[in-house]
Amino acid sequence: MATHNDLRQFLNRIDQRNYPAYKDLERCYEFPEFTLWVDRVQGDPFASPSQLRVAIAQNQAKFSADLYCTSSREIALRDFLTRQFDRAAQTMSQRRGSGKSGMIAISQPGQTILDRTSAFVDAHQVELRFVVGLPAFGRRVAGQQAIALLCEDLPEIIRQVGFYASLDARAVQRHLETAEDADWLRSQLLDRNLVAFVADGALLPRQSGVDDRPLSKEASPFHAPDSLRVEFDCPNAGKITGMGIPAGVTLIVGGGYHGKSTLLRAIELGVYNHIPGDGREQVVTDATAVKIRAEDGRSVAKVNISPFINQLPQGRSTAEFSTENASGSTSQAANILEALEAGTKLLLVDEDTAATNFMIRDRRMQALIAKDKEPITPFIDKVRQLYAEHGVSTILVMGGSGDYFDVADTVIAMQDFQPQEVTAQAKARTGRRTPIWRNSFSHLAANSVTVSPRLCAMENPRSQHDCD
């Protein structure tokens, strides 16, 4: 095995040579406190950077087993180490020549705690995986800059990140406990007949559509309505309260810019754990939840969308539907059917990103266009059946169609980013206290296409006139 001194000597030797001379770096090097592997060397200073990894023996790193004794803690610890490496690398990285010369980088984290492959921890060692831009001037090796990068800057980053004694122990513990509580909360949803939970005090608004950090100064803390408030006793945070969204069909309504989509976005991202300080640390959602939207132009390959779309012009079959350029309605139908096949128990839909003709057909349109002339069975005619027969709940942001009150179990109104339960008021507008079935269903006729049993029962609904 080569040593760090061998690495220095090699880089000195190839200084000013053509860039491909770096290729002979691909080997293992022993440093006093860690082992460095150069797994792949870039072929050009402007190409994808070189891939490296470092291993620190656990008898030196000294991460105690309680920090990674469960899956939740291990994932959170690896995420924490990735974040620490990213901060240290951003401070240490400097431009040292052409292209990506001098760059040190790792998987760049956002607001969510993820199961990353950039860091690993077990009883034997800590391993960190990252990339570097090997220095060059033009396309010639910058050997002295490479020595500074690999033999001085990199060891300093490893000293800051790879040893428990160098880290903020409180910050490590808080990161792990935050993730552990979120995983525990998510595991409790089914027993409480809930699909999502939003804690009191959560901060849901973000800085912008492209910046997922919390809008902390202007945002008001979330406060659950009494009728939907539930309590949990978390392993680390202790007793917390918040809004539990029950299984079934839930509508989120309200005026424009009052927080409907913000709430749904927080619920959508509740399948992930969030870092301390994000504001959504205790917002959790059924892990199988899928956000559904219309995706004009997407490719669809052999998906049975006949439960929603049938009788296309020119006799085109929708039992094994394929296209390179799906419309809004066919793409949304395909997205739902694919989510069902993947095992989702919760669909999330925002009318702003949905195909209008897929979501609803009002009475006037049904009166004008006969059912046998309309190939689309709107989602409103399926949403209750999805829950009653298949146990698939739906949360919808709906600001433009009161017809969905007919099929809703729970209606939440957002005003100034605060929720109120208005189910009773919504039902009073419909004259019905319980959700209605809009359709009756029959099984698909036998044909050459194999169709999942859970989809077969969703075919051939009657029109809304047949149900009312």
Which tens digit of pLDDT belongs to each residue from 116-143? 999 999 999 999 999 999 999 989 999 9
Q: What is the mean pLDDT of residues 335-340?
A: 97
pLDDT tens for each residue of 149-179: 999 999 999 999 999 999 999 999 999 999 9
CB neighbour list of residue 191: distance below 8 Å, 6 or more residues apart? none
Where is 128: in which H helix or E strand?
strand 125-132
pLDDT at 468 exceeding the cut of 50 = no
CA 445 – CA 310 distance, rounded (Å): 13
Q: Which of 31-40, 101-110, 240-249, 430-439 is predicted least confidently? A: 430-439
In this model, does residue 227 exceed pLDDT 80?
A: yes
For position 97, what pLDDT does the model report?
61
Q: Are 195 and 286 in contact (CB under 8 A)?
A: yes
- List Cβ neighbours of 396 (8 Å cut-off, separation of 6 or more): 249, 250, 251, 252, 348, 349, 350, 351, 383, 404
Amino acid at 332: Q
Pairing of strands 346-350, 393-397: parallel
Closest alpha carbon to 463 in 313, 332, 361 = 361
Give the three-state DSSP class for 287: coil
Nearest to 176 by CA among 79, 279, 269, 285: 79
Q: What is the C-alpha R_g of the chain?
A: 28
Tokens for 366, please give them: 């049904």
- Distance from C-alpha of 191 to C-alpha of 185, rounded to nearest angstrom: 11
Tokens of 151: 């033999």
Which residues neighbour 339 within 8 Å (Cβ) at sequence distance 6 or greater? Answer: 290, 292, 347
Q: What is the mean pLDDT of the chain?
A: 89
The CA distance from 107 to 115, in Å, is 12
Q: CA 380, CA 368: separation in Å to the nearest integer?
A: 19
pLDDT band at 260 (very low <50, low <70, confident <90, very high): very high
Is the Cα dihedral 321, 324, 327, 328 positive or negative?
A: positive
List strand residue ranges (DSSP E) for 165-262, in order: 194-199, 206-208, 211-214, 229-234, 238-246, 249-254
Tokens 């690896």 appear where? 78
- 392 neighbors 340 (Cβ within 8 angstroms): yes
Nearest to 106 by CA among 85, 135, 134, 127: 85
Q: Hey, which residues does 254 pair with through a beta bridge?
A: 414
> If you ran DSSP here, which 8-state letter would residue 217 be given?
T
What pLDDT shows up at residue 373? 60
Q: Which two tokens stand for residue 237?
A: 């945070």
pTM beyond 0.75: yes
Greater model confidence, 84 or 367: 84
